[in-house]
Amino acid sequence: MSPQKIDEYWRQRVHVIMESDPKLSAPAVGVKLGQEAAQLGRADNPSDRWIRIEQINWRNRPDAERRPYREFLWPESMVTADLPWEASAVALELLREHHKMKLRRPVLALVQWFWRATLAAPGLPFEKRYRAATLLHASEIAQTDISWRRVEAHIASGEMPESWFGEELGQNLGVSITWDRASDILRAVNPMLTPEGASSIVDLLRWRHEGGPAPKGLEEAQDDSQR
């Protein structure tokens, strides 16, 4: 039997759950993921056996690697020095917006990136700073600079210049990780992104990097722009 192929979304969820409740058993984690899968309309949640192996691997990682997956709590995250007190207002803004969007508590790594994006461009609307933070968080998970240049342009101009979307981002992404994994990473970081939305981003990056026929839907847009 071939090993179970697990969407990166579930791997990240196991890590977050483990950090919020380290003593939780694999079957108990499996129940949580099964409930999430039902809410999301998915049927690809991992087996208890896969979860158990992932738990063992995760417990053996250094604390510095596990800490960013802990959920943000105020004031606890500041008391433990996981975040500085100066980040409180921005962190609570992100927590408030997650609550409005009916998302889970943000993890420390996402809060840190949102704080950095806010420091860089405090005048940008929440949506633009949040978009920058999620892309940078995805880059961190992938351990590659897939989005640094794109976010730099986004933060500097408040827009997402088309010329930045392809060359730097697409080339770096193609060198470091597979396109399919990139889609998984984007979805894991930003659960608001649908599978179709993540795939369309990856398709556009692939087209920009490799050339060839334009992704479906982009051809029509190009035709319209030339009329």
Lowest mean pLDDT among 93-102, 131-140, 161-170: 161-170
Residues 96 and 61 in one domain: no
Residues 226 and 159 in one domain: yes
Residues 62 and 24 in one domain: yes
Please give the structure tokens belonging to residue 156.
């500097």
Lowest mean pLDDT among 22-26, 72-76, 115-119, 150-154: 150-154
Residues 133 and 214 in one domain: yes
Report yes or no on 1 lying in a domain: no
Report yes or no on 2 lying in a domain: no
Report yes or no on 160 lying in a domain: yes
What's the whole-number average pLDDT of the chain? Answer: 77
Residues 52 and 78 in one domain: no
Report yes or no on 3 lying in a domain: no
User: What pLDDT, on a 0 to 100 scale, did the predictor assign at position 175?
Assistant: 35
Residues 161 and 173 in one domain: yes
Residues 75 and 59 in one domain: no
- Distances from the Cα of 60 to the Cα of 23, 54, 57, 64, 227, angstroms: 14, 10, 5, 12, 59
Closest CA to 48 of 18, 74, 19, 28: 28
The neighbour count for residue 107, using CB atoms within 10 Å, is 21
Total domains in the chain come to 3
Average pLDDT over residues 155-176: 51
Kindly state the percentage of the chain with pLDDT values over 70: 64
Q: pTM (2 decimals)?
A: 0.65
Residues 28 and 112 in one domain: no
Is the pLDDT at 149 greater than 80? The verdict is no
Check if the beta carbon of residue 207 is closer than 8 Å to that of residue 214: yes
Rounded to the nearest 5 degrees, what angle is found at the Cα of 182, between the Cα atoms of 124 and 170?
A: 70
Residues 127 and 27 in one domain: no
User: What pLDDT, on a 0 to 100 scale, did the predictor assign at position 42?
Assistant: 87
At 71, is the secondary structure helix, strand, or coil? strand
Residues 137 and 225 in one domain: yes
Report yes or no on 77 lying in a domain: yes
User: What pLDDT, on a 0 to 100 scale, did the predictor assign at position 169?
Assistant: 43
Residues 55 and 93 in one domain: no
Check if the beta carbon of residue 95 is closer than 8 Å to that of residue 106: yes
Residues 222 and 134 in one domain: yes
Higher pLDDT residue, 151 or 22?
22
Check if the beta carbon of residue 27 is closer than 8 Å to that of residue 14: no
Range of the domain at 138: 123-227
Check if the beta carbon of residue 94 is closer than 8 Å to that of residue 110: yes
Higher pLDDT residue, 15 or 182?
15
